Chains A and B, each alone.
Chain A
Amino acid sequence: MEGKKLLSCWRLWLSSVLLLTACASAFADQAPTASTLSARLSGSDQRISISSTKIVNSSGVNGLVVQSTAHGVTKVLFLPSAIEQPTATTIVTPTRAAVVGNIGWDAQALTVFDPTDARVLGQALCRSAALSPNGKTIAFVRMFPSHFVPIDLQTAKYAVLDLSGDLGEAITSSRSDVGEVVYPPLPPAPGAKFDSDIHTIDGKIRWLSSTSFTFTDRFHGVASDVVVTKQGTRWMAAVVSTRKAY
Chain B
Amino acid sequence: MCKAPAFLLIATVLTLEACASHGSFVPTSAPSGYTGEPTQPQQAASATQIKPVAPASMGPNQRVAVMADTEQELLSQINRARAAGLQPQFIVVSAPLRTYTFPVYASIARSVNALLVVAYNSLYVFQLDHATVHYTNSPVEMSYLPVVAARHFDARAKVAKETGKFKFGIQMTKEALCPDCVALVRRKAAIGAITKNWKTQSDPWQRTPNYVAWVPTPTMAPKLKIIPPNCFSGCSSRSYYYYIVIGYIGIGSGGSGATPTPTPIELKITSNSLPSNSIGFQLTGPGTGTVTVEEIVNSRPTNRQIGPYSAGSYVIHYFNNQDGSDLALGEHTQLKLTWNNTYGAVYDSKVETFDVLGNWVQTQYNIPLQSTCTGSQESVLLFNPNGCNSSASTFVSQFVTQANRNGTGEVASNKYCSVEWACGHSTVETDFDFPVTPKTTCQTVPDATTVATYDINNAKGTGSPWRCGDNALQIRGTNPSEITTKKVEDNCPGCSNAQFGKMDNFTTSGACSGVPSLPNAVTVRMR
Q: Are B430 and A103 in contact (CB under 8 A)?
A: no
**Chain A 94-114 interface mask (CB, 8 Å, partner B; 1/0):** 000000000111110100000
List the B side residues contacting A148 at CB < 8 Å: 406-408, 418-419, 438-440
Contacts A195-B491, A246-B499; A149 near B407 (Cβ below 8 A): yes
- Asked whether A104 and B429 contact (CB < 8 A) given A151-B491, A246-B462, the answer is no
Which B363-413 residues sit within 8 Å CB-CB of chain A? 363, 365, 374-376, 378, 397-398, 400-402, 404-408
**Chain B contacts of A106 at CB under 8 A?**
363, 405, 494, 504
A16 interfacial contact with B, CB 8 Å: no
CB neighbours (8 Å) of B490 from chain A are: 147
Q: Scoring B residues 475 to 495 as 1 if CB is less than 8 Å from chain A, else 0, what string do you get? A: 000000000000000111110
Interface: A245 (CB within 8 A): yes
Which residues of B (113-166) have their CB < 8 Å from a CB of A? none
Q: Which of A177, A193, A195 contacts B496 (CB 8 A)?
A: A195
Cβ-defined contact, A143 with B513, below 8 A? no
Residues in B76-100 with C-beta less than 8 Å from chain A: none
Contact A103/B429 with A147-B406, A147-B440, A195-B496 known, Cβ cut-off 8 Å: no
B residues 410-435 touching A (CB-CB < 8 Å): 418-419, 421, 426-430
Segment touching B, from A6-14, A33-41, A44-52, A168-176: A168-176
Which residue of A is nearest B495, CB measured?
A106
User: What is the chain A residue whose CB lies nearest that of B367?
Assistant: A148
In whole angstroms, how far apart are the Cα atoms of A107 and B405 in the complex?
7
- Distance in angstroms from B452 CB to nearest chain A CB is 6
Min CB distance B60 to A, Å, is: 57
**Interface segment, one of A18-26, A129-137, A199-207, A233-241:** A199-207
A143 to B400, CA, bound (A): 13
Which residues of the partner chain B approach A61 to less than 8 Å between Cβ atoms? Answer: 374-376, 397
Is there a chain A Cβ closer than 8 Å to B312's Cβ? no
Tell whether, in the assembled complex, residue A176 and residue B462 are in contact, meaning their CB atoms are under 8 Å apart: no
| Cβ A174 vs Cβ B517 within 8 A | no
Does A82 reach chain B (CB closer than 8 Å)? yes
A185 and B300 CA atoms in complex are apart in Å by 45
Question: Which of B374, B400, B493, B515 counts the most A-chain CB atoms under 10 A from its CB?
Answer: B493
Residues of A within 8 A of B402 (CB): 103-104
Question: B457 near A: Cβ within 8 Å?
Answer: yes
A193–B459 Cα distance when bound, in Å, is 10
What residues on A are CB-neighbors of B460 within 8 Å?
194, 196, 220-221
Residue among A144, A147, A154, A174 facing the most chain B CB atoms (10 A cut-off): A147
Shortest distance between the CB of A179 and any CB in chain B (Å): 12
Specify which of A84, A105, A220 is in contact with B517 (CB 8 Å cutoff): A105
Within 8 A of A (CB), among B438-474: 438-441, 446, 452, 454-455, 457-464
B428 & A177 in contact (Cβ 8 Å cutoff): yes
Q: Does A153 contact B (CB under 8 A)?
A: yes
Q: Confirm or deny: B219 has a beta carbon within 8 angstroms of a beta carbon on chain A.
A: no
Do B458 and A60 have beta carbons less than 8 Å apart?
Answer: no
B169 interface residue, CB < 8 Å from A?
Answer: no
Contact indicator A145/B404 (Cβ below 8 Å)? yes
Whether B28 sits at the interface, judged by CB under 8 Å, is: no
**Chain A residues, CB < 8 A from B497:** 201-203
| Interface residue? B519 (CB, 8 A) | no
Shortest Cβ distance from A147 into chain B, in angstroms?
A: 5
- CA–CA, A174 to B397, complex, Å? 8
Known A-B contacts A143-B429, A218-B462; A104 and B405 likewise in contact (beta carbons under 8 Å): yes
Within A202-246, the residues touching B (CB, 8 Å) are 202-203, 218, 220-221, 245-246
Nearest neighbor of A152 in chain B, beta-carbon distance: B421
Chain B residues touching A, majority SS:
loop
Let me know if B455 and A194 touch, CB within 8 A.
Answer: yes
- Given A175-B428, A175-B430, answer yes or no on A218-B491 (Cβ-Cβ < 8 Å): no
Chain B residues, CB < 8 A from A80: 375
A143 touches B404 (CB 8 A): yes
Given contacts A106-B494, A177-B427, contact A143 B405 (CB under 8 A): yes
Contacts of A150 in B (CB 8 A): 421
Nearest B-chain residue to A63, judged by Cβ: B375
Interface of A, helix, strand, loop or mixed by DSSP: loop
Tell me if A93 is interfacial: C-beta within 8 Å of chain B: no
CB-CB under 8 A from A203, the residues of chain B are 497
- List the B side residues contacting A74 at CB < 8 Å: none
Contact B493 A154 (CB under 8 A): yes
Task: Report how far A84 CA is from B398 CA in the complex, Å.
Answer: 11
Q: Across the two chains, which residue of chain B brings its CB closest to A172?
A: B430
Find the A residue at minimum CB distance from B437.
A148
Q: How far is the CA of A176 from the CA of B418 in the complex (A)?
A: 15
Interface positions of A from 35 to 81, Cβ below 8 Å from B: 56, 59-62, 80
Contact of B405 among A103, A154, A195, A202 (CB under 8 A): A103
In whole angstroms, how far apart are the Cα atoms of A125 and B402 in the complex? Answer: 10
What residues of chain B lie closer than 8 Å to A221, measured between beta carbons? 460-462
The residues of A that contact B446 with a CB separation of less than 8 Å are 147
CA–CA, A154 to B497, complex, Å? 15
The reply to whether A109 and B494 form a contact with Cβ atoms under 8 Å apart is: no
Q: Which residues of A contact B426 (CB under 8 A)?
A: 149, 153
Q: A156-206: which residues lie under 8 A (CB-CB) from chain B?
A: 173-177, 193-196, 198, 200-203
Q: Which residues of B contact A173 (CB under 8 A)?
A: 378, 397, 400, 430
Contact A84 B462 (CB under 8 A): no
Question: In the complex, A146→B406 CA distance in Å?
Answer: 5
CB neighbours of B517 from chain A (8 A) = 105
Known pairs A103-B513, A174-B430; A195 contacts B418 (CB<8 A)? no
Contacts of A152 in B (CB 8 A): 421
A202 to B497 alpha-carbon distance, docked (Å) = 6
Contact B493 A200 (CB under 8 A): yes
Return chain A residues, CB-CB under 8 Å to B459: 194
Nearest-CB distance from B385 to chain A (Å)? 12
A60 to B408, CA, bound (A): 22
Tell whether, in the assembled complex, residue A125 and residue B405 are in contact, meaning their CB atoms are under 8 Å apart: yes
How near does chain A come to B411, taking the closest CB pair, in angstroms? 14
Q: Tell me whether A146 and B494 are in contact (CB under 8 A).
A: yes
Query: Are B404's CB and A125's CB within 8 A?
Result: yes
Contacts of A177 in B (CB 8 A): 427-429
Please, which residues of chain B bring their CB within 8 A of the CB of A59? 376
Given contacts A62-B375, A148-B418, A246-B463, 6 further A-B contacts (CB under 8 A): A125-B405, A125-B429, A144-B493, A147-B365, A147-B441, A147-B504
Supply 10 A–B pairs (Cβ within 8 Å), ascending by A: A62-B374, A107-B405, A145-B404, A147-B406, A148-B418, A176-B427, A176-B429, A200-B493, A202-B496, A203-B497
The 7 A-B residue pairs whose C-beta atoms are closest, nearest first, are: A145-B407, A148-B407, A106-B494, A195-B455, A148-B408, A60-B374, A82-B401
